[in-house]
A and B are shown apart, each in its own frame.
Chain A
C-alpha cells in the first residue's frame, strides 16, 4: 500500500500518493491540465506554483513538475502572471546602462527586500542580477540569470513592479550579441561556404556509390 498525503489543490482537499509531484497530484485528482503544464521537466516555467504547508507562515514558490507533494500542502497554480515586456529593435540598441533606464526604469525603484530571490523557483540570486542590470553590467547579469525559466514568480512578489525575467532576457541578448567575444572561426567558415569553397568536396562525396560511403563512414578518423 503506497503512502498517501492530504493536499489542497486550489483549496480543495484530495488524498494523493506521497511519491507524486504537484503536477502528478493534479492529474491523479482528475485534472487534465491545459494551462500550467509545458515541458514537465523544469525548463519552460509554465507551471509556477505557490504553496504553504499547514502550520508554516511562509509562502513558498516552485515549479509543479519539479516538486514533490508533502502532507497538508495548500497549493495554488500561477500559470500566468502579467509581466511587462518592452519591445525594442536588437539591431538598434546599445549595450549601455542607458538602455535599461529607457526600457525598464522601474528596476531603479528596487527597495532591496529580496522577495524575488526568496521566491525564485530556480534558486537564482534574482536581486543580485537586477543590481547588475541597474549598473549596466550585462555580462554579470546574463551569467547570474542564465538558468531563469521565466516563470514570473519573482515579479508576482515584487513591491516595485519589476519584470525581472524580461530585464534578464534583455541583458542576455545584449551580452550574446554585443559584449561576448566574436568567433573568428565561425565568421571565416560562413564566408568560405558563401564563396563556394566546399561545393567541390560536397559534390564529390555525395556522388559516391553507397558501398563506398559505407566504407568511408565505417573507417573515418575520429577526433580524440
Chain B
C-alpha cells in the first residue's frame, strides 16, 4: 500500500468521519471535527493547489499530526477502515475528550 492518497479521497473520507468542510480559506479548505453537534479543536486542512492533488507521505504526516493519529491510523481513516466512533475512541485513549 503506497503511502500516498488522492486529495479527493482524503476529503471524501473526512466528510464521512464527522468533519465539516469550510471552504472560505484562500489556499486551503478546512475540515473541523464535530462531536455532538459542536465544533472541536480537531481540524485539518487540504491545499487547493493543483500541485497537491496527491498527498505524499510528507503531506500526510502533517495531516496525521493535526488529527492525532499515527500513519497507519490515518491511512485507515482515509481508506474507510476506521470509522467515526473508533476515531473518537482513539482520541479518547490519547486523553482527548469532548464531553
The judgment on whether A and B are partners is: no
